[in-house]
Structure 1
Amino acid sequence: MPTLYHSPMTRSTAIVALIEEMGIADRIDVIDVTIPRQDGTGAPDPRNPHPEGKVPYLVHGEDGIRERGAIIIYLTDLFPDSGLGRPVGHLQRGTFLGWLFYYQGVIEPVLVLDFTGLDHPALTATFRDRGAVMARLEEALADGPYLLGAEYSAVDLLISGAFHWFPDLLTGHPAVKAWADRCADRPALKAVTARDAAALAG
């Protein structure tokens, strides 16, 4: 059975929500571990096999998968009937993969740089800027309520999560805000977030 190493209210929350959305919670073992947090709490957990002590980390047999985009591809390929991914041969397979890599390679770096106030021409040339990211999302959402059109998918879950952490970025972007709100209202995400919050509260 695949095993996911998770710490509440971290990047791994999206993967636990994905597991819930896919209806495969009985086929994935989720182990809660501690990690060092930005507020100074937490600590590395010796039970966590991630080489850097981070989450999420998925272990399946002898294989270890890190990074959310890679874990999303792995799980949605492993359980294609969930409909949250786009399997090999699907007409949207390339678009699905492109969004996952665009998130980790462009969106998240841009939003973190914007949040920290770091600015340099080399950074903008490499990663683009917030305006370019928002324009790309608005362009995609013009074709449907979700990034791949009519149906919610794992790319919506992953990418919308950034705006749950940085809601102020949605000001002036009503289409993106409406999409982020739709994604936040998913029962699976709400249930997992509530469980995570309760776990942190002790």
Structure 2
Amino acid sequence: MSDQLVFYTNPMSRGRIIRWMLEEVGQPYETHILEWATIKDPAYLAVNPMGKVPAIVHGDTVVTECAAICAYLADAFPQTGLAPPVGSKLRGDYYRWLFYAAGPLEAAVTVKSLGFEVPPDRKMMAGWGDFGDVMDTLEKALTGREYLVGDSFTAADLYVGAHLGWGLQFGSIEARPVFTAYADRMAARPAAARAREIDDALIAAAA
């Protein structure tokens, strides 16, 4: 398989998460910036029929959805140590928290931001219970720990840290001390700083 990595994004999108992931991976990649006015063009719909960013192409493999891209890149480049080895007992926690952010965390934050509340007697119908359940579970997982999985940074930390950083910045996630400390640690990583610098420069250039 070709080693070429192609990244489709817009700097004002969830593509910022994948830019960070690519900077952690440290492999060369080609960036295609998509404008909102042309994101539904047939050429890009051939990459992602949803017509949204981000997406990556790695050789003949196309991957969309942020959590899936993070998981794929961590496995495609195992030398980075961004995922526990296959067969490791840590692999379960790694998958758990990576997809916890993609499922319960994002769903709970989105629903609350839209002004909806899950009725107490309907919590069983929601895959995440309610907003408080989600936040309490994540706070418990982070309390007393530097990282979510084992004693080293993984793609799960990147993805959860990105969600917390975004939510804290815009007030959609309450600023619990455990959340702010964790998000600050993740954002301080050199790769995260490089990614922000690249995307912020793109935004400034387009202004």
Bucket of the pairwise TM-score, normalised by the shorter protein: 0.7 to 0.9
Query: Whole-Å Cα distance in 1 between the matches of residues 103 and 134 of structure 2?
Result: 12
The alpha carbon displacement at 1:71 in A equals 0.9
Corresponding residue for residue 62 of structure 1: 60
Residue among 16, 19, 38 paired with 2:19: 16
Residue among 42, 45, 69 paired with 1:71: 69
Corresponding residue for residue 188 of structure 2: 185
CA contact (8 A) 2:19 2:195 kept: yes
Cα-to-partner distance string for 1:122-159 (whole Å, 9 max, x where unaligned): 46741222221221122212352111143221111111
Aligned residue pairs: how many? 193
Corresponding residue for residue 161 of structure 2: 160
The alpha carbon displacement at 1:106 in A equals 0.7
Query: Whole-Å Cα distance in 1 between the matches of residues 134 and 117 of structure 2?
Result: 16
Gaps of 5+ in 1: 36-41
Query: Whole-Å Cα distance in 2 between the matches of residues 111 and 81 of structure 1?
Result: 34
Query: Whole-Å Cα distance in 1 between the matches of residues 199 and 157 of structure 2?
Result: 20
Letter in structure 1 aligned against 2:183:
A
Query: Whole-Å Cα distance in 1 between the matches of residues 24 and 64 of structure 2?
Result: 20
Corresponding residue for residue 34 of structure 2: 33
Letter in structure 2 aligned against 1:175:
V
Letter in structure 1 aligned against 2:49:
P
1:88 is the counterpart of 2:83:
no
Corresponding residue for residue 95 of structure 2: 97
Query: Whole-Å Cα distance in 1 between the matches of residues 74 and 192 of structure 2?
Result: 17
CA contact (8 A) 1:11 1:56 kept: yes
The alpha carbon displacement at 1:23 in A equals 1.8
Corresponding residue for residue 44 of structure 1: 39
The alpha carbon displacement at 1:2 in A equals 2.7
The alignment's TM-score, normalised by the length of structure 1, stands at 0.86
Q: Percent identity?
A: 34
Cα-to-partner distance string for 1:18-38 (whole Å, 9 max, x where unaligned): 1111222x2x32222223xxx
Residue among 149, 166, 170 paired with 2:174: 170
Letter in structure 2 aligned against 1:44:
I
